[in-house]
Chains A and B, each alone.
Chain A
Amino acid sequence: MLPLIVFGILAAVALISAVMVITRRNVVHSIIWLIVTLFAVGGIFLLERAEFLFAVQVILYVGGIMVLFLFVVMLVDLQVALKQARFNHQWLLGVFTALLVFAQVVYLIYKIGAGLSLPVQPPGSDPAHNTQAVGLALYQTYMLPVEITSLLLLVAMVGAVIMAKRKFE
């Protein structure tokens, strides 16, 4: 019962702060609310026994990506955006389309929900050390994808530097 209550609280925090992210006028407020969302999602990871992913979420997302966002907010001038309209003129159509997709997903979950809400197996078969299991899978089964991802990060780094450079030659 207690995990369900904690899940409910975390889910409510995540959803409400996600709504705040897309409705705030000030970008800095949006970033702060996004950090709240990321922490709540990290808590859900912890509840799902993915401890390593929780640490990655806090360190990489909150500590890395969000600081990057804040730096960019300092680099660009946002005084004009504070006075303009927040939403574009097709916002009603956009909300309708997104809610339509959401309704479809909910309907599908409702249809096959009986298969998904089966009681999970007893936690005895769970890997005892989550970090160890993730590390073994990363460096044994997924060796090549890890290398390809490192290449992707290198390309992204070079690309970001080239994009932000002052002059193209």
Chain B
Amino acid sequence: MIPTAYCILLGSGLFTIGVIGVLTRRNVLIILMSIELILNAVNINLVALSHYFHSVNGQVFAIFVITDAAAEAAVGLGLIIALFRNKETLNADEIDLLKW
């Protein structure tokens, strides 16, 4: 049996990598992919604790998280297409229309 602490450590490691991706990359597509990494880290934690408590509730919530990830990816990619059409760039540093 795998200790639950290992799974939570793996989840926090993936979460950290995702946060680093969101904070440091300039490409909007990669920032969106880093958010997917973060959501996967959450899913690992949910499944590990669901296994630990012998309850299926954590897995149900992981399914909800995956659904949210799908919705977020659809809206985010739609936004990226609209952004590219208007600004001709995917660089997060160049998108500063709301800055003054």
Q: Which of B59-100 contact A (CB under 8 A)?
A: 59-60, 62-64, 66-75, 77-82, 84-85, 89-93
Secondary structure at chain B's binding surface: helix, strand, loop or mixed? helix
Contact with A along B26-63 (1 / 0, CB 8 A): 11011011101100100110011011101011011011
Interface residues on B, range: 35 or more
Which of A30, A81, A91, A120 sits near B51, CB closer than 8 Å? Answer: A120
Interface membership of chain A positions 40-56, coded 1 if the CB is closer than 8 angstroms to chain B and 0 otherwise: 01001101111011001
8 Å CB contact of A76 from B2, B74, B81: B81
For B60, the chain A residues whose CB sits under 8 A away are 134, 137-138, 141-142
Please, which residues of chain B bring their CB within 8 A of the CB of A113? 5
With A76-B81, A109-B5, A116-B3 already in contact, the answer to whether A68 and B74 are too (CB < 8 A) is yes
Looking at the assembled complex, report how far the CB atom of B49 sits from the nearest CB atom of chain A, in whole angstroms. Answer: 9
Q: Are B5 and A152 in contact (CB under 8 A)?
A: no
Determine if A9 is an interface residue (Cβ-Cβ < 8 Å). no
- Interface residue? A126 (CB, 8 A): yes
In the complex, which residues of chain B have a beta carbon less than 8 angstroms from the beta carbon of A47?
Answer: 2
Q: Interface size (A, Cβ < 8 Å)?
A: 89
Say whether A88 contacts B66, CB under 8 Å. Answer: no
Task: Write out the residue numbers on chain B whose beta carbons fall within 8 Å of the beta carbon of A49.
Answer: 51
Chain A residues contacting B80 (CB-CB under 8 Å) are 72, 76
Instruction: Assess whether B34 is in contact with A21, with CB atoms less than 8 Å apart.
Output: yes
What chain B residues lie within 8 Å of A93 (beta carbons)? Answer: 23
Name 8 interchain pairs, CB-CB below 8 A, sorted by A. Answer: A21-B33, A60-B70, A73-B29, A91-B24, A116-B3, A120-B4, A134-B63, A164-B82
Using CB atoms and an 8 Å cutoff, list the residues of chain B in contact with chain A: 1-10, 12-21, 23-27, 29-30, 32-34, 36-37, 40, 43-44, 47-48, 50-52, 54, 56-57, 59-60, 62-64, 66-75, 77-82, 84-85, 89-93
Kindly list 9 other residue pairs between chains A and B, CB separation below 8 angstroms, not including A117-B3, A134-B56. Answer: A3-B2, A22-B34, A45-B43, A56-B63, A76-B29, A125-B54, A141-B57, A156-B74, A163-B75
